Amino acid sequence: MNTVYFYKSQRSSILPMAIIMEFKSQIQSLKAYKAHRQQLADQVLNNQAIFPILMDYSLSNDARLGKPACWVLEYVCIAKLSWIHPYLKHFIDQLPFIENKSSKRCCAKICMLLCQRYFLDSDKSTIEALDKTDLASLVEINFDWLMNDEKVATKAYAMETLHLLGKVFIWVHPELKAILQKGIPNHTMAYKARAMHILNKI
- Considering only residues 190 and 3, tell me which one the structure prediction assigns the higher pLDDT: 190
* Integer angstrom CA distances of residue 143 from 8, 101, 140, 157: 33, 15, 5, 11
Share of the chain above pLDDT 70, in %: 93
**8 Å CB contact between 75 and 45:** no
Question: Is a pLDDT exceeding 90 seen at residue 38?
Answer: yes
Question: Rounded distance, CA 125 to CA 148, Å?
Answer: 32
Confidence of residue 63 (pLDDT cuts 50, 70, 90): confident
Record the pTM. Answer: 0.92
Residue 189 has pLDDT above 60, yes or no: yes
Average pLDDT, the chain: 92
Q: What are the pLDDT digits (tens) for 110-161?
A: 999 999 999 999 999 999 999 999 999 999 999 999 999 999 999 999 999 9
122: left (phi over 0), alpha (psi -120 to 50) or beta: left
Q: What is the pLDDT confidence band of residue 6, given thresholds at 50, 70 and 90?
A: low
Domain locations in the chain?
1-79, 100-202
Q: Is the pLDDT of residue 13 over 70?
A: no
Instruction: Average the pLDDT over 87-98 and give the result.
Output: 96
